[in-house]
Structures are given as C-alpha cells and as structure tokens.
C-alpha cells in the first residue's frame, strides 16, 4: 500500500512538471528569439578534426576576433554591428587567408553573415538556448572539423579559461541590450539543468 502511494506521488509530480514545461515552452521560445534579435555570434569551422587543422582554426579565430573587436568597439546595437561586418567581409576573408598562408596551408575560405541553427551551448558560466541566430561564419577548407564559437556582439569572445566564467565587464555589456528575463535565462540555464538531473536521481531511487 505504501509503495503504491509513493508511485502515485511520483506520477503526479511528473505530470505537474510536464504541464509546467508545456506552459513555459512558449515563454522559452520567446526568450530565445529575443536574445537572437540582439546578438551576433561567431562561428569558425576547421577543415578537419586533425590536430593541425584544429590548431589552424584557433589561429584564424584569434586573428579575426582581435580585429573585429577593434572594429566593433563603438557599436551599440546589432544593426550597426551588422553593417560594420557587411562592409568588412572582404577584409575578414583576407585576414583568414593571411593566417592560413602564413602557416603553410592553401585552404579556401568562405566568410558569410547568415542565420544558422545552434544547439544549446555552454559558454563559461552562461548557457545560450538552442535556436537560430545570426552569425559571422568562417568556413576553412572542407569545414568538416569541430567548430569554435563565441558571441561577437556584444563581445563575449574572451573568457577566463582558469575560472571558466565570462568576465563581469562582458556580462555588463550583454545585460545592457537584453531584457531582465533574457539575461537571467542565460545565467539560470546551468541551475535548471542541475535540477533536472537531481529529479531524475530522485526518481531512480523509487524504481
């Protein structure tokens, strides 16, 4: 009898969580779309997963990010940033080619500013929800290797690798262009994932 009550409680809790998840799904989509309308991501794809190609990808990334941060330093919104990137597409391509040639490779380079789908991505102590985002994409050679990404506007392309957190200065820039709900969603993503795992662990105890 006691076992049946426990099972009934678990079923009820599961049902309530499912109902709440469905109710919040529209809100979650709205938040993702709201974030996507205000940021530009950066996506660099390596030729392959070989150690040398992956190292080359990071060198290209470093060069492009360094120069783009300088060009975008005074930009205050996504529209202005988009125009700057469009005006400098050939310059960005030349930067990537320069790095590739300097390292002894002859890979082709494709540079574009386009809307692309990203899965849920953890960046330092922030989690960006899955969905479509505008992104500056650099595809090296066959672009069949692992990719590297960050947020180009506002600049979140440098994190403290030791602490694995996004610097406060970068967070402040992001906070100024997002709503409170959008910004908090990026910070609370990790906590929500941990809660889900804790619930699953609790559920397994009663199996």
SS3 132: strand
Residue 201 has pLDDT above 50, yes or no: no
**195 pLDDT tier (thresholds 50, 70, 90):** very low
**34 pLDDT tier (thresholds 50, 70, 90):** very high
Please give the pLDDT value at position 194: 43
Q: pLDDT, tens digit, for every residue of 162-186?
A: 556 788 888 888 999 999 999 999 9
Please give the pLDDT value at position 124: 80
Please give the pLDDT value at position 4: 59
For residues 152 and 194, the model is more confident at 152
What is the number of other CB atoms lying within 10 angstroms of the CB of residue 100? 22
From first CA to last CA, the distance across the chain in angstroms is: 16
Please give the pLDDT value at position 156: 85
Q: pLDDT, tens digit, for every residue of 127-169?
A: 999 999 999 999 999 999 999 999 999 988 865 555 567 888 8
Query: What one-character DSSP code corresponds to residue 160?
Result: B
Enumerate the domain spans of the chain: 39-180
Quote the mean pLDDT of the chain.
Answer: 83
Angstrom CA distances, 177 to 34, 75, 137, stand at 10, 12, 22
Tell me how far apart the alpha carbons of residues 49 and 188 are, in angstroms, rounded to a whole number: 32
Q: pLDDT, tens digit, for every residue of 46-64?
A: 999 999 999 999 999 999 9
Q: Can you give the pTM of this predicted structure? A: 0.76
Q: What percent of the chain has pLDDT over 70?
A: 75
Best-predicted range by mean pLDDT (111-115, 149-153, 202-206): 111-115
């Amino acid at each position: 009898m006691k076992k049946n009550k426990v099972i009934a409680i678990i079923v009820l809790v599961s049902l309530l969580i499912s109902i709440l998840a469905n109710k919040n799904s529209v809100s979650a989509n709205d938040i993702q779309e709201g974030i996507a309308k205000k940021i530009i991501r950066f996506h660099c794809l390596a030729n392959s997963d070989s150690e040398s190609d992956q190292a080359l990808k990071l060198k290209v990334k470093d060069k492009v990010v360094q120069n783009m941060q300088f060009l975008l330093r005074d930009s205050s919104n996504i529209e202005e940033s988009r125009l700057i990137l469009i005006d400098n597409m050939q310059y960005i391509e030349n930067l990537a080619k320069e790095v590739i040639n300097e390292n002894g490779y002859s890979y082709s380079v494709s540079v574009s500013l386009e809307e692309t789908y990203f899965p849920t991505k953890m960046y330092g102590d922030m989690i960006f929800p899955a969905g479509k985002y505008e992104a500056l994409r650099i595809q090296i050679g066959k672009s069949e290797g692992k990719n590297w990404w960050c947020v180009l506007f506002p600049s979140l392309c440098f994190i403290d690798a030791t602490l694995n957190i996004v610097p406060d200065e970068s967070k402040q820039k992001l906070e100024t262009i997002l709503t409170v709900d959008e910004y908090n969603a990026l910070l609370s993503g990790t906590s929500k994932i941990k809660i889900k795992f804790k619930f699953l662990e609790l559920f397994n105890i009663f199996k």
